[in-house]
Amino acid sequence: MAVALLAALAVGCDALAGGLGLPFPGALLAIFLLGLRFRWRGGPDPQLADLFDATIRFWPLVFVPAGVGVIDLGGTLRESWLPILISVIGGTLLTILLTGLLAQHLLARRPRRPAARADALRAGRPAGCPLAADNEVCAARERQEA
């Protein structure tokens, strides 16, 4: 079932990307849609997770075509090594910078845990139980420990 889903998604997205003339490959669209499905369902289905676990050891083979391309374009690389080097270093630095800025932005939006604990203590909940749903479980645990 999982293999059929992935195959249908790959073929369908490839046909869609080619038919619409999208500037990116259908595989990228398939990965995006698969990510949306995981987000919507709260993670991969057990069958997909099992498939991913079984095939993870073969993922390095994905890089074989890229390696062949590098070997095939060796002359071009020798002629254009400086612009390639500058763009790789620049792209890496830009990626690190944007990742850091995004992480700072996301962490600033996240509620801080110490404040949640202080609120829990003020509300009369046990210190280790900042959430109301955990109140009874944590209170029972504290009674057992005492």
Report the pLDDT averaged over residues 93-121. 80
Same domain for 23 and 61? yes
Q: Is residue 77 part of a domain?
A: no
Q: Residue 38's closest CA among 54, 29, 49?
A: 49
Question: Is this model's pTM higher than 0.95 or not?
Answer: no
Query: Using one digit for the tens of pLDDT, what is the confidence trace for 16-71?
Result: 989 999 888 888 889 899 889 888 888 888 888 888 888 888 888 878 888 888 88
Same domain for 68 and 8? yes
> What residues have CB less than 8 Å from 3, skipping those under 6 apart?
51
Domain holding 35, by residue range, is: 1-72
Cα separation of the two ends of the chain: 52
Same domain for 59 and 120? no
Q: Residue 6's closest CA among 41, 43, 42, 45?
A: 45
Q: Tell which phi-psi region holds residue 124, choosing left (phi > 0), alpha (psi between -120 and 50) or beta.
A: left
pLDDT, position 123 = 59
Number of domains in the chain: 3
